[in-house]
Structure 1
């Protein structure tokens, strides 16, 4: 057998107990998510795709709303169709060919006020969603201050506003970047799993991004 095939078989063997446990569907986590309706931002990203696959395959969720913006000439529905062809869904496609029926695209943009959602989409999510996973973010280190602020800071504020209006919300999960606390005063120091004060008040930063000209923003980005 080819060495690569040997490694693959060994990996599958290690996964077997995990897959068997998932098939039973009786874990505390599976019971929590079973029958829930989720809302996911960043669903087309690396972690987002894995999350969606796992929720459908292992947790038997009722529905997953995925916020998408039109991109490269593709509508939100076309982007979902492309997403479902990803290899991460290969195993799920074999066991549950109709899994795509549980995924509902919602046109919007995390960088916009109210997430760029229509009034009807906002109301529908507020009425139906039990669980929110906020994973959308720009992770470019050279991103412009305006774009980084509108997506990562204001976008999080806007989805929290939506979460507050969800009538049946049971869980809000926020996935941050690994370097959100990489400020100068923490160089060569231990960064703990705790909340740290922001170097600048978030609403002040949002106000700057919304009102300042490009030249001024670029000039203060280093600071």
Structure 2
């Protein structure tokens, strides 16, 4: 009996949420072999699975060890998916510094963003997780970046994003380097308040980066 795309991605999400690595790998390969679009696999499989993990963590059903294991499963899945992501030309390419802001060690969302930016033709400088505000600015200056992309999942880390903006202003770089933000703790209202671009999903980040670089060179 033919399995629907939704059944395949639901199975992948459940395997991630239940921390079953072998089942997650099998479901991922099934999704690829049956032609499920990579965007569906990521959004309805990987992202949904991590959302369930986050919900269980908030209910204190999961703890740090479960978060670490789920992150390992998703990172492995991203590596498997990477060759299947469509590669685009570099007509609208640019340099992007990415990282999760200081106070945030969870970096799955950031990893997805970095991967999608790379496959969209951008040169990505990944600073990792728990990155101090000054490191974003220093790296952006070093590589002459077009964009700084910051991820945050905890509300308490938002003040550090504001510090990045303040540092860019102090360095006279606010009009030269665009900033985009995303992650569970970030809202469009917050992004509008500090004057930066907002992406609700990892896929939004690649689209926004293209728009920002287009605008810069117009």
Give yes or no for TM over 0.5.
no
Larger Rg: 1
Greater helix share, structure number? 2
Short-chain TM bin? 0.3 to 0.5
TM-score normalised to structure 1 length: 0.39
TM-score normalised to structure 2 length: 0.40
